[in-house]
């Protein structure tokens, strides 16, 4: 059973870079059947897809965030990471990492979520 766990600071100052890491266990990280993605949810609001990465390193980002996002992988540690630059209060959200099944493009396993607050 695949498990995902987000880690990183829960408080980030405005204009700085938000950095989160997702650690994957369960053995599917290097499979070509899956992508790995980030999703966020501002308090009291809906889900927003941030981006995804494939085992080859190819990425796709939400066009509305593309200029500020970078997603990378560390195959040796079964981790993938999110960097979101120049944050503002509008980036305050619960950030989820999840496994994206390639055949149907659905998120079938999710981390528990990490609340990140942007505040000085």
Partner 1 sequence: SSELTQDPTVSVALGQTVRITCQGDSLRGYFASWYQQKPGQAPLLVMYGKDKRPSGIPDRFSGSNSGTTASLTITGAQPEDEADYYCSSRDSSGNYVLFGGGSKLTVL
Residues in the site for partner 1, rule: CB under 8 A? 37, 39, 46-49, 52, 60, 62-63, 96, 100, 104-108, 110-113
Q: How far is the CB of 96 from partner 1 (least distance, A)?
A: 6
Q: How far is the CB of 54 from partner 1 (least distance, A)?
A: 11
Q: How far is the C-alpha of 42 from the C-alpha of 59, rounded, in Å? A: 23
Q: How far is the C-alpha of 39 from the C-alpha of 94, rounded, in Å? A: 8
Q: How far is the C-alpha of 45 from the C-alpha of 91, rounded, in Å? A: 12
Query: What is the DSSP secondary structure assignment for residue 45, as one 8-state letter?
Result: S
Comparing CB distances to partner 1, the nearer of 13 and 45 is 45
Helix (H) and strand (E) counts in the chain: 0, 11
Comparing CB distances to partner 1, the nearer of 20 and 39 is 39
Q: How far is the CB of 114 from partner 1 (least distance, A)?
A: 11
Closest residue by Cα to residue 95 from 36, 35, 21: 21
Comparing CB distances to partner 1, the nearer of 74 and 108 is 108
Comparing CB distances to partner 1, the nearer of 16 and 41 is 41
């Amino acid at each position: 059973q695949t498990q995902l766990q987000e880690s990183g600071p829960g408080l980030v100052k405005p204009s700085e870079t938000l950095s989160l890491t997702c650690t994957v266990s369960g053995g599917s990280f290097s499979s070509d059947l899956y992508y790995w993605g980030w999703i966020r949810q501002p308090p009291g609001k809906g889900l927003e897809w941030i981006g995804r990465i494939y085992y080859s390193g190819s990425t796709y980002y939400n066009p509305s965030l593309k200029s500020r996002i970078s997603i990378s992988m560390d195959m040796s540690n079964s981790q993938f990471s999110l960097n979101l630059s120049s944050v503002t209060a509008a980036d305050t959200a619960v950030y989820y990492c999840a496994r994206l099944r390639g055949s149907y493009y659905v998120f079938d396993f999710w981390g528990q979520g990490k609340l990140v607050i942007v505040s000085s």
